[in-house]
Each structure stands twice: as C-alpha cells, then as structure tokens.
C-alpha cells in the first residue's frame, strides 16, 4: 500500500480525485493540498510514496520547482502528472514522472498506476531471512542481525544503520526498512527508527522533542513529543518490559 499526495488548486477537482482513490485498495493514506507550498510541507512531515500533481494553470515553473524540491527531499517519491493538453511541457517530462496524463482524467489508468507503484514501494528486504536485514553495501551483501541494530536514521537521501561495530549507509527509505523490522523497533521520529531493547534512557531536549540514549553506544537519537507520548501509552497498555 502507498501513501499518496494529491496537489491541485481546484478544490472540487481535488475532492473528485481523492474520492476516486479512496476506493483503491492500494492507497493507504491520502493527503491533499491546494498549494504547492503546503505540498512541500506535507512531504517533509510524512513518508509519501506517490505525488500526484494536477496542473490547471500556466505556472509550470512553480510546479517544476516544487517537484524538484520534493525530489531532493526524497528521491524515492514517484510523480504522476496530469495536465490540460495545452500545458504539456518538456520541462515536466525532464523530471521523469512515472506517468504524464492528459485531461480529462482516465481514472482506470490512474488507479492502475497506483497499483503498480504500490507494489514497487515494497522493499526487496521482504525476501530477507527472518531476524535479519540483508543489504547491499559497498558492492557487498551484508546479513545484519536485527538484534545488532541500535537505531536507523535518515540523513538526506541516505539511511544510516547503526550497529555497535559498524555503520551502513544505503539509499533506501525508512518506510521500506520499517516494513521488515520486528516489534522491538519503534519509529520515534520522521528521521529515526530505534531498537527499544537498546535504550538506556530518554531525556527532554526541548519543548517538541526528547533525546534517546543507548547502552554501550555514544550517539543519540531523537524522539518527537507526539511519538514520546505514543511510546509511553504503548508500553503502559502492553505492560512491556524490554530485557
């Protein structure tokens, strides 16, 4: 399943597309925006798999700028662009969208695109041996035991996997990695996944976030205030003790 962003200045058209995609079993969460600026903020705050841009004005340069910003923020996001025939642009094609559709919207084609892209967002890690994360690193195949992972962080376009003895840097989204981790791992922040069994303590950093410290590892991770509250609720409700 995929998290989808739809951007269109026209609210009525935006609702029409959203209502159609809600029926698609491959659509997980659908975000909408009537402004390009808000679209960028949505991508920065959420793990978006597919961005659909419906171009109904001649401000092509603004759309191109927005898509380039989004692409720079997360190279794994796939674009579907829809426009009027007279707004067909080579500059948009240069961004290499997964599909460039011409209005009126062919919803069958759009839904098939969502289905195909949703399947592609599934990480190759799904073939992993239970209890291990298998990655390509420096042209070598590494079998990392999940219990050896302390935390994973997102840094620009890289995912950095921290173990006590080594750091692995790979081009992969945290969302894809998260799919194959077990219940010992918790998404503490948009940029962090933490192994709960490795935590030493958590302390307040500022009004919006906390710092996570680990046993036998001298680097910290962040947990947002909302995730901190969720973690406390989760631990309390499940009466969990991590040994």
Q: For the chain, what are the domain ranges?
A: 2-120, 124-238
Domain 2-120 has CATH 3.40.50.2300: yes
Which positions ≥6 away from 218 have C-beta within 8 Å?
A: none
Q: Which two tokens stand for residue 174?
A: 């945290």
- Any idea what the Cα angle at residue 225 is, between residues 1 and 164, rounded to 5°? 75
Q: The whole model's pTM is what?
A: 0.59
Task: Give φ, ψ of 93 to 5 degrees.
Answer: -60, -30
Domain 124-238 has CATH 2.40.50.1020: yes
Cα 105 to its chain centre, rounded Å, is 26
For 136-175, what is each residue's pLDDT tens digit?
Answer: 887 788 899 999 999 999 987 789 999 988 999 988 888 8
Q: Which two tokens stand for residue 59?
A: 């401000």
For 29-83, what is each residue's pLDDT tens digit?
Answer: 899 999 999 999 998 888 888 999 998 776 788 888 999 898 887 777 899 999 8
Question: What does the alpha-carbon distance between residue 72 and residue 70 come to, in Å, rounded to a whole number?
Answer: 5
Q: Which two tokens stand for residue 122?
A: 């599934």
Cα 176 to its chain centre, rounded Å, is 8
* Selection from 235, 234, 205, 210 nearest residue 224 by Cα: 210
């Amino acid at each position: 399943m995929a998290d989808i962003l739809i951007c269109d200045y026209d609210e009525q058209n935006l609702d029409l597309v959203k209502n159609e995609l809600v029926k698609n079993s491959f659509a997980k969460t659908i975000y909408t925006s009537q402004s390009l600026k808000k679209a960028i903020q949505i991508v920065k705050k959420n793990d978006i798999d597919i961005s659909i841009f419906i171009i109904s004005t001649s401000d092509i340069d603004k759309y191109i700028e927005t898509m380039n910003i989004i692409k720079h923020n997360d190279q794994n996001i796939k674009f579907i662009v829809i426009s009027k025939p007279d707004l067909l642009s080579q500059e948009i094609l240069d961004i290499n969208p997964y599909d460039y559709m011409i209005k009126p919207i062919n919803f069958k084609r759009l839904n098939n695109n969502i289905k195909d892209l949703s399947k592609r967002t599934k990480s190759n890690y799904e073939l992993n041996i239970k209890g291990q994360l298998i990655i390509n690193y420096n042209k070598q195949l590494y079998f990392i035991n999940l219990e050896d992972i302390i935390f994973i962080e997102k840094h620009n376009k890289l995912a950095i996997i921290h173990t006590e003895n080594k750091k692995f840097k790979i081009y992969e989204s945290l969302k894809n990695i998260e799919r194959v981790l077990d219940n010992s791992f918790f998404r503490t922040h948009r940029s962090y996944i933490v192994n709960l069994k490795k935590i030493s303590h958590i302390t307040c950093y500022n009004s919006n976030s906390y710092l996570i410290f680990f046993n036998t590892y001298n680097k910290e991770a962040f947990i947002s205030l909302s995730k901190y509250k969720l973690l406390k609720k989760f631990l309390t409700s499940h009466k969990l003790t991590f040994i």
